[in-house]
Structure 1
């Protein structure tokens, strides 16, 4: 299995998998272990350390939006706070987003119903810090096709990134080059102050 194959499996199989119990489901195992293993292999040529995790949901419920994330442990080890690089899988179309994103749950806890507006405003400020990378990571907004606090929070938390169709996931070289670009943006944001200096922080 390659990174592209792992991503493609999630895109293609998730809609049907969600109609079945997640406990012991082979796709849940792909998201938790198989895909993270492929992502670690793709990261091997890049200086770390990186923590890689995949989430198909919790307990007996599939996630509305499954994810596969790369964390710099000096910044965060969780998708709830800080910022990180993540593959997000929309519910409504055969597509994957590679997103440099802000932690959503922490923003929801701190800002309540204003979290979405806060995340979008801070995303605008963070994009300005990464203006030199905008051409290589041109997607400035994403749609995940699911209603609810978390999916809408993920949309608002997006800073910049890329989107792939199913056909584009067959280009492993491109995926690895784009991953390296995403990691470069992650490091650049860290070097330029991360979330420091944003309103409300």
Structure 2
């Protein structure tokens, strides 16, 4: 397998996989283990400690939007808080988003029904802080095609990134180059004050 093959498999197979229970499902194993292993391999040439996790959901429920994330442990080790890099798989179209994103659950807990507006406003200011990455990570917004606090929060939490159609996932060199750029943006955000909008 390769990173592109793993991403394509999730994007293609997830809608049908959700019709079956996740326990013991082969695609759940790809999201939890196979895809993270491929992402770790793609990150192997990049200096610094980076954690990788994938989630198809919890317990007996599939996630509305599965994810495959990279965390700088000095920033966060969880998709709930801080900021991190994540591959997200929209429900309404076979594609993959690579997103530099803010933690959604912490914002929901802190801001309640105003969390989306808070995350979008924060994202606008963080994009300005990362203006030198705008050409290489041009997506200012993402659509996940499903309702709910978490998917809508993921959309609002997006800072910048890229979207791949399925036929673009065969270019492993491009995926790794884009990933390296995204890690550079992640580290630049950390160096420029992170989510602290009072600095930088």
Q: TM-score range by the shorter chain?
A: over 0.9
Alignment of 1:102-181 (within 5 A): 102-181=102-181
> Which aligned segments of 4 or more residues in structure 1 are displaced greater than 6 angstroms?
none
Count of matched residue pairs: 199
Does the 8 A contact of 1:122 with 1:198 survive in 2?
no
Are the counterparts in 2 of residues 144 and 151 from structure 1 also a CA contact under 8 Å? yes
TM-score when normalising by structure 2:
0.98
List gaps (5 residues or longer) in structure 2: none
Give CA-to-partner distance per residue, 1:27-52, whole Å, 9 cap, x none. Answer: 00000000000000000000120000
* Matches of 1:118 and 1:187, distance apart in 2: 23
Matched, 1:28 2:28: yes
Structure 1 residues without counterparts, runs of 5 or longer: none
Q: Displacement of 1:198 after TM fit? A: 5.3
Please report how far the alpha carbon of residue 197 of structure 1 lies from its aligned counterpart in structure 2 after TM superposition.
2.6
Question: In the TM superposition, what is the alpha-carbon distance from 1:196 to its structure 2 partner?
Answer: 1.0
Equivalent residue of 2:169, what SS? helix
Matches within 5 A, 1:48-67: 48-67=48-67
What is aligned with 2:44? 44
Name 2:87's counterpart in structure 1.
87
For residues 109-129 of structure 1, what are the alpha-carbon distances to aligned partners after superposition, in whole Å with 9 as ceiling and x for unaligned? 000000000000000010000
TM-score scaled by length of structure 1? 0.98
Q: Distance in 2 between matches of 1:198 and 1:154?
A: 23
Distance 1:99 1:185 in 2: 11
State the Cα deviation string for residues 76-117 of structure 1 (Å, max 9, x = none).
Answer: 000000000000000000100000000000000000000000
